Amino acid sequence: MEKQKIDLKDLVKNKYGEIALQSKQQNETSCCGAGGCCSNVDYTIFSESYDKLEGYNPDADLGLGCGLPTQFADIKKGDTVLDLGSGAGNDCFVARSLVGAEGKVTGIDFTKEMLDKARLNAQKLNFTNVDFVEGDIENMPLPSDYADVVVSNCVLNLVPDKRKAFTEIFRVTKKRGHFCISDVVLMGELPDRIKNDVVMYAGCVSGAVQKEEYLQIIRDCGFENIQVKKEKQIDIPDNILLEYLNPIELDNLRKSGTGIFSITVTAEKPNGLVNNYNFKIEE
């Protein structure tokens, strides 16, 4: 199991290292220019438009998200914000517009090419209160009680041990701090050929867990006031699914009720180790 985790991390690191060297438009065509390889997986299929958000910087937008976590993160002036899997810095720069010059934003990523791109973008913007740290979300090189707000956008589905990741999120969040995370979850079971495919893992599909399991992990790690702020079903085009399924299997999958969803979820770290969990879905 430990070797499988390492292999998956290497897969993600290598794939997103290639993606970092591309534009958003290239990612939309699913061609990795650095390696000359193309696949039918569109790595931008879940993304939402940042165009109207203050602080948006097109150079930092690779189209890899599945929501707008800063929209529901209740970020205030002077806050310290931590972005998990910060990529080229897109959410960090939006968060920086909210915390102001007196706040601080830290992005963490384990892909060197993404970190290089993010740091270059921050340098171009002359931001002195945005930094980027190399590290693994399952074992972050950050002190406990570090951030007022933690955000993440379509990243934790790529982390093999989600329970360990949320345990780390709990550790680095300040007491009475909170997180706002956009991620991909499942309802129903995917066919094995999709579930076991490495390309679909890197494409944020086969690494996703069941929605209720995802929310239960958050509860088990000690967070309270868990709220699903937004939920949207993702429709993967037939031409992608037909790479893995024959037409009859595809029809059966469509009829089965199995769904892939992007959700944006918030939760708070209590002031002490209090097992007082409250789960609510907002309509």
Range of the domain at 30: 2-281
Say how many domains are in the chain. 1
Q: What would the pLDDT profile of 101-130 be if each residue is shown by its tens digit?
A: 999 999 999 999 999 999 999 999 999 999
* pLDDT value, residue 39: 44
**Owner of token pair 């806050």:** 79
Query: Rounded distance, CA 89 to CA 79, Å?
Result: 17
* pLDDT value, residue 208: 81
* pLDDT value, residue 257: 82
* pLDDT value, residue 64: 81
**Owner of token pair 């879905």:** 281
Strand extents, DSSP E, the chain:
31-32, 37-38, 80-84, 104-109, 130-134, 147-153, 173-187, 224-234, 259-268, 279-281
Q: Which residues of the chain have pLDDT under 70?
A: 1-6, 23-47, 196-206, 272-283
Residue 14: give its domain's CATH number. Answer: 3.40.50.150
Residue (of 103, 102, 161, 113) closest to 137 by Cα position: 161
C-beta separation of 3 from 149 below 8 A: no
Residue (of 196, 192, 201) closest to 157 by Cα position: 201
Q: What would the pLDDT profile of 13-25 be if each residue is shown by its tens digit?
A: 777 777 777 755 5
Please count the residues of the chain: 283
Instruction: Please tell me what DSSP assigns to residue 142.
Output: S
Q: What is the dihedral of CA 204, 28, 266, 86, to 10 degrees?
A: 90
Mapping DSSP onto H, E and C, the string for 176-213 reads EEEEEEEEEEEECCCCHHHHCCHHHHHCCCCCCCEHHH
* pLDDT value, residue 235: 82
* pLDDT value, residue 168: 98
Residue (of 18, 13, 9) closest to 38 by Cα position: 18
